[in-house]
Amino acid sequence: MRLLILEDEAPTAAQIRQFAARYGLPADDVHEVRSVAKALTWFQEHEMPALIFSDIELLDGNVFSLYEQVPVSCPVIFITAYDQFLLPAFQTHGIAYLLKPFDYSQFAAALAKYESLKASFAPPTPLAAPPVFAASLLPADAVPALSAAVLAQLSAALRRPATAYKQRLPVRQPNNGFYLLPTDEVALLQAEEGLVFAIDRQGARHPLTGTLGEWEQQLDPAQFFRLNRGELLHIGAVLKAEPYFNGRLAVRLRHGATLISSAAQTPAFRRWLEG
């Protein structure tokens, strides 16, 4: 059974593999792809998988740009960290989804739905067919795919700014109190030895609770970018970016610090800087 995992976060991809094996899915033919561009190449070189686990935001864009180009004819279980992207179209067309972070019981429920409807899946469409978004789990004689209008709604939803992102960060104090630091005054968030600090525009450090990954989910991605494993950068702090070794960038900040992008994040970071 061929499985395709479209996921740019290695821990999540590993979790999907682990949960799939625990559920009992044959794991002899599992493929992982982390970007839209690589997924396009993968579909050109491989037959259609039996099932796709698909993140929505990949390294180089949202996955709907892939489904606009590739006639995917197998069921898709979507994975996302942003519940505001889950429009009613997902449910009315029978598409399963997992909201990050998910546990095994949620994963198993999505696969149980897949198993119960497997007999109703439409036969695969040849790759030469006109592109359609065919991730529906409905019977072939029902509505088989998302319409162009619904696909446009989904893409528009991905472009809409979220309304519930944090505007202030609660900074810990020794007496168990806290004060609020506006996000506009933050240059970056930095993880160091298990702790997370907000670095303000003057370079002062403010201790926060939680992990860098948790803060990444709560801050506006139009304003903050995960530059590498340990640093989440605010767009207003960037002075300039210059070429560095091995395809990375040296990012000069307005308060004088210099950060180095990871090689994996550099292409997405360039696009983020360009807006």
* Structural domains of the chain in order of their starting residue, each with its CATH number: 2-158 (3.40.50.2300), 168-274 (2.40.50.1020)
Count CB atoms within 10 A of the CB of residue 44. 9
Q: For position 231, what pLDDT does the model report?
A: 95
On whether the pTM is more than 0.75, the answer is no
Tens digits of per-residue pLDDT, 132-143?
333 333 343 333
Tens digits of per-residue pLDDT, 1-28?
889 999 988 889 999 999 998 998 876 7
